[in-house]
């Protein structure tokens, strides 16, 4: 019998040792001795949401809206530049990233173009036709805007979810324009609150009320306008009211708010004079100045508090207000608390929409873990018994290699930080069944050689030597499909693919090296005449 390779023995011992260290926190859980964390990592394998329970939300960021908002700002800026330059604007419109500003006939087009170029050359292509000036926003500028808004959205959502106070929420970018929010351990009761927390754009504006009415049409007629865009041109906008008053379904206000929620430095739950929950807020210094001026100039007028386009309340201004304010309305305590949290975190620059949700109750997760563990134990026992029954002593060797194989696979999974999912557990169980395939191929070959009358030593040598390529060929293709799954899969399926891929690599190692080394060790000192197979 060929000697035992010291190199391989060392590698096997090293791998076993490393895997054992990596896996100890997973198996010991809370019973881990305190010194462990100082020497090794005390973080166990992380469980997927399907095992732990919780909420998974994939958010699409409506970056197009960010571009639209940018166009509105651009429109405002250009028109005010023209006004400064005493160029009269007849009308303006925005569509598909193009702003078209019409001037009165006879306008000095040369100068108008120059004004536009001076300030907006970098962000837009500028041309003119007759008395129309067109600004088309540049794709590179759009890309930058979108990238910015996604980053800001991610930051704000991170603040909001973390403020909510559940352990270890994770907020990641997913693909180019999506954000993945995972909140493990969130209960079904928390679901709606978390969704509201994340989805709320929370743009807070303070605007002076010009008129109120029962319908949009009433209000349009009151300023002699026919469409919303005409009313915008006149510097007004119409908002729906949610103030609890039957007579005031719609409000006409000035179009642009002079004070917004971005100046808020703090917000908290408070109660109004009737003991109903409300949200109190505090302005930063610059905001306080602006708010002071707004309220001072408009004493006796009504101030609309607009949240995401809807008017929450419209109190009459009694006196100048600077730092402090209160939003009253029809809130529950929870809603007021959450709104305060959202105002503290700031408003989303663009809205988000939920593309995918998965909420798993903790009982289903727990149930899955227990059943997964149980079927794994049963599966292991069946395979181990089967191998000993069919291959006697060689079967024992294959089993020893299989046990180490499972240890390595789980060690690798921990080392790579792979999240264990339910299909991942299934993949692990499946790997158990497939892992002995290599051993079977080798053992059957050894038997054939023995039947052909070859010596014991020669049969073992040939059994291994002739099976190497078969095993490699067979596993490369399986690895290929597993990697494709990993590449294209999402969520739990990715976990399955990761388990399978790592399982295949470790299995080939255990079939060709570990089992071989064990065989050699077992027969090292004996003159081998018979193989127990």
Partner 1 sequence: MRIIGKLNYDFVEKMGGAMRISIALAVISIVSLVYHQGPNWGVEFTGGTEIHIKLGKSLEPDVLKGALAESGFPSESVQRFGLPGDNEHLIQFAPELATFDQIGDFQKKLEDLFAESEDFEGASIQRIDYIGPRVGKELITKALLSILIACVGILAYLVFRFEFGFAVGAVIALIHDTLITVGAISIADKEFTLAIVAALLTVIGYSVNDTIVIFDRIRENMGNFPEKGFRQLVNEGISQTLSRTLLTAITVFIVLLPLFFLGGSVIHDFAFTLMVGVVIGTYSSIFVASAFVVYWRKRKAAG
Min dist CB 240 to partner 1, Å, is: 17
Q: Does 379 engage in binding with partner 1 (CB under 8 A)?
A: yes
Least Å distance between CB 407 and partner 1?
17
CB 495 within 8 A of CB 486: no
CB of 309 to partner 1, least distance (A): 16
What burial class does residue 222 get, using C-beta atoms within 10 Å of its C-beta: 0-12 exposed, 13-18 middle, 19+ buried?
middle
Place of tokens 């805007």: 145
Chain positions 133 to 192 lying near partner 1, rule: CB under 8 A, are 188, 191-192
Q: From CA 338, how far away is CA 340, in angstroms rounded? A: 5
Q: Which of residues 265-284 bind partner 1 (CB under 8 A)?
A: none
Decide whether 90 or 353 has the Cβ nearer to partner 1: 353
Residue 478 binds to partner 1 (criterion: CB under 8 A):
yes
Interaction of residue 355 with partner 1, rule CB under 8 A: yes
Helical ranges in 315-421 per DSSP H: 333-345, 362-415
Is 383 a residue that touches partner 1 (CB under 8 A)? yes
Q: Can you tell me the distance from the alpha carbon of 278 to that of 267, in angstroms, rounded to the nearest whole number?
A: 10
Q: Choose the binding region for partner 1 from 135-143, 217-225, 258-266, 386-394 (rule: CB under 8 A).
A: 386-394
Residue 349 and residue 149 in contact, taking contact as beta carbons nearer than 8 Å: yes
Phi, psi for residue 319 in degrees, rounded to 5: -160, 170
Q: Considering only the stretches 65-73, 94-102, 129-137, 361-369, report the one whose residues sit in contact with partner 1 under the rule CB under 8 A.
A: 361-369
Residue among 296 and 357 whose Cβ is closer to partner 1: 357
Stretch that binds partner 1, among 81-89, 143-151, 344-352, 359-367 (CB under 8 A): 359-367
Q: Cβ of residue 170: shortest distance to partner 1, in angstroms?
A: 19
Q: Please give the angle made by the CA atoms of 331, 335 and 340, to the nearest 5 degrees.
A: 105
Three-state secondary-structure class, residue 34:
coil
Which SS3 state, helix, strand or coil, does residue 282 take? strand
For residue 147, how far is the Cα from the chain centroid? 16
In the 8-state DSSP scheme, what is residue 262?
Answer: G
Is there binding between residue 20 and partner 1 (CB under 8 A)?
Answer: no
Q: Confirm if 396 and 385 have CB atoms less than 8 A apart.
A: no
Closest CB 392 distance from partner 1, rounded Å: 8
Cα separation, 315 vs 313, whole angstroms: 6
Nearest 5 degrees, angle CA 91-CA 94-CA 98?
115
The nearest distance, CB 401 to partner 1, in angstroms, is: 14
Contact track, partner 1, 415-454, x by CB under 8 A: -------xx-xx--xx-xxx-xx--xx--x--xx--x---
Binding flag, residue 468, partner 1 (CB under 8 A): no
- For the CB of residue 196, give the shortest distance to partner 1 in the complex, in Å: 9
Q: What is the DSSP string of 124-155?
A: EEEEEETTEEEEEE-HHHHHHHHHHHHHHHHH
Ordered alpha helix ranges (H), 275-361? 285-297, 333-345
For the CB of residue 511, give the shortest distance to partner 1 in the complex, in Å: 12
Which residue, 340 or 498, is less far from partner 1 as judged by CB? 498
Binding residue for partner 1, selected from 497, 498, 512, 515, defined by CB under 8 A: 497
221, 465, 484, 521: residue in contact with partner 1 (rule CB under 8 A): 484
The structure tokens listed for 228 are: 């919303």
Stretch near partner 1 under the rule CB under 8 A, chosen from 91-99, 231-239, 243-251, 471-479: 471-479
Among residues 32 and 441, whose Cβ is nearest to partner 1?
441
d(Cα 9, Cα 452) in Å, to the nearest integer?
A: 32
* Min dist. Cβ of residue 357 to partner 1 (A): 4
* Type and span of the H or E element at 434: helix 422-451
Q: What is the largest CA-CA distance in the chain?
A: 111
**Are 139 and 147 contacting, i.e. CB atoms less than 8 angstroms apart?**
no
Q: Which of 475, 510, 511, 519 binds partner 1 (CB under 8 A)?
A: 475
Which of residues 195, 393, 396, 403 is near partner 1 by CB under 8 A?
Answer: 195
Select the residue interacting with partner 1 from 34, 84, 96, 389 (CB under 8 A): 389
Residue 400 found at the interface with partner 1 (CB under 8 A): no
CB of 469 to partner 1, least distance (A): 7
By CB under 8 A, tell whether 66 contacts partner 1: no
> Does residue 371 belong to the site contacting partner 1 (CB under 8 A)?
yes
Structural contact between residues 400 and 388, judged by C-beta atoms closer than 8 angstroms? no
């Amino acid at each position: 019998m060929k000697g035992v390779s010291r190199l391989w023995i060392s590698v096997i011992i090293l791998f076993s040792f490393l895997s054992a260290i990596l896996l100890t926190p997973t198996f010991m859980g809370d019973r881990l001795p305190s010194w462990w964390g100082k020497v090794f990592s005390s973080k166990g394998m992380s469980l997927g949401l399907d095992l732990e329970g919780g909420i998974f939300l994939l958010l699409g960021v409506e970056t197009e809206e960010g571009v639209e908002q940018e166009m509105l700002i651009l429109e405002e800026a250009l028109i005010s530049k023209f006004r400064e330059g005493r160029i009269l604007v007849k009308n303006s419109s925005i569509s598909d990233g193009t702003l078209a500003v019409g001037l009165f006939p006879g306008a000095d087009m040369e100068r108008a173009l120059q004004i536009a170029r001076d300030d907006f050359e970098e962000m837009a292509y500028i041309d003119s036709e007759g008395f129309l000036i067109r600004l088309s926003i540049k794709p590179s500028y759009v890309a930058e805007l979108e990238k910015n808004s996604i980053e800001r959205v991610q930051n704000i959502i991170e603040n909001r979810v973390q403020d909510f106070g559940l352990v270890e929420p994770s907020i990641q970018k997913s693909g180019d324009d999506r954000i993945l929010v995972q909140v493990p351990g969130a209960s079904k009761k928390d679901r709606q609150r978390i969704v509201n927390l994340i989805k709320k754009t929370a743009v807070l504006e303070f605007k002076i009320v010009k008129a109120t009415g029962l319908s949009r049409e009433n209000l349009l007629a009151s300023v002699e306008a026919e469409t919303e865009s005409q009313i915008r041109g006149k510097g007004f906008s119409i908002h729906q009211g949610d103030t609890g008053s039957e007579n005031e379904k719609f409000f006409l206000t000035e179009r642009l708010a002079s004070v917004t929620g971005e100046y808020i430095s703090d917000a908290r739950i408070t109660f109004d004079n009737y003991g109903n929950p409300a949200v109190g807020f505090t302005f930063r210094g610059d905001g306080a100045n602006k708010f002071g001026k707004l309220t001072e100039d408009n004493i006796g007028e009504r101030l609309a508090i607009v949240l995401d386009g809807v008017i929450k309340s419209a109190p009459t201004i009694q006196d100048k207000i600077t730092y402090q304010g209160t939003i009253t309305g029809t809130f529950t305590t929870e809603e007021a608390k959450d709104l305060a949290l959202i105002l503290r975190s700031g408003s989303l620059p663009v809205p988000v929409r939920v593309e995918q949700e998965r909420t798993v109750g903790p009982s289903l997760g727990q149930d899955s873990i227990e059943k997964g563990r149980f079927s794994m134990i049963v599966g292991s026992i069946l395979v181990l018994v089967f191998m000993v029954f069919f291959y006697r002593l060689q079967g024992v060797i294959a089993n020893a290699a299989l046990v180490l194989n499972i240890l390595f696979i789980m060690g690798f999974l921990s080392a790579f930080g792979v999240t264990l999912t339910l299909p991942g557990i299934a993949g692990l169980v499946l790997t158990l069944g497939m892992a002995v395939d290599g051993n079977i191929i080798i053992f059957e070959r050894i038997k054939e050689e023995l039947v052909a009358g070859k010596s014991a030593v020669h049969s073992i040598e040939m059994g291994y030597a002739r099976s190497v390529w078969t095993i490699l060929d067979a596993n490369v293709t399986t690895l290929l499909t597993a990697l494709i799954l990993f590449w294209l899969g999402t969520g739990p399926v990715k976990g399955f693919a990761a388990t399978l891929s790592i399982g295949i690599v470790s299995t080939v190692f255990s079939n060709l090296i570990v089992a071989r080394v064990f065989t050699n060790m077992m027969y090292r000192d004996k003159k081998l005449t018979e193989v127990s197979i």
